[in-house]
Structure 1
């Protein structure tokens, strides 16, 4: 038995796995401006104030924190969403990696840092990755 598949041209790629693709003459841009608000909604921070600064410098979080425990399932879910957002938001990669260390036993100080990161995401929803085109069709 031979399987037969038909391919059809669907035009230029514009959306793939939650990543928006914008192709211009001079650049290719990847962003998740539709996904970020959904993540903010899921975390209960859709109406938070936007900001343009990430974590405070030299912030020291520890697994031995004695602050109040927070809902581990919610924390892990939001961190997972932020990890997916990192695909087009390299500016948050370090911070997301840092708060990911505390997924086993998240505490209030860990959650406060995640909330600060979400404030930043709210203020930078339209950020993404730009690949300039050089030499014709080469990226």
Structure 2
């Protein structure tokens, strides 16, 4: 067994160690997830989800690639480990894994 030094990166989680602190982050992972979803150039928003969103099957929005949708939701679920404030929103969109067309419904 050999000493590999201080832990700095593990399973997509960045680890920063100070004298008395240990900080976990996923900024690189989040950036890659934004690029994969085509939202890298979007502006940040304080509220992670539109209030009173009412998904419906009667949608005029473009069709959603179900495989990409599931992949992005899975990535968001992993991101919740270091960003718990998005947990409600991620759980909400997770409900539509079987039929992602519902989440793009009318508002």
**Partner of residue 25 from structure 1, selected from 5, 19, 35:** 19
In structure 2, the partner of 1:34 is 28
**Partner of residue 93 from structure 1, selected from 87, 90, 96:** 87
In structure 2, the partner of 1:65 is 57
In structure 1, how many angstroms separate the alpha carbons of the residues matched to 2:73 and 2:15? 24
**Paired residues of 1:19 and 1:30 also in contact (CA < 8 A):** yes
Name the TM-score, length of structure 2 as normaliser.
0.84
Give 3-state SS (helix, strand or coil) of 1:65's partner. coil
Name the TM-score, length of structure 1 as normaliser.
0.66
Superposition deviation, residue 52 in structure 1: 2.2
- Gapped regions of structure 2 (runs ≥ 5): none
In structure 1, the partner of 2:103 is 110
In structure 1, how many angstroms separate the alpha carbons of the residues matched to 2:11 and 2:57? 37
RMSD, matched Cα: 1.9
Between the two structures, name the one with larger relative contact order (CA 8 Å, sep ≥ 6): 1
In structure 2, the partner of 1:118 is none
**Partner of residue 83 from structure 1, selected from 47, 52, 77:** 77
**Partner of residue 47 from structure 2, selected from 39, 47, 53:** 53
Superposition deviation, residue 91 in structure 1: 1.0
In structure 2, the partner of 1:115 is none
Give the greater-gyration-radius structure (CA).
1
Which 4+ stretches in 1 moved above 4 angstroms? none
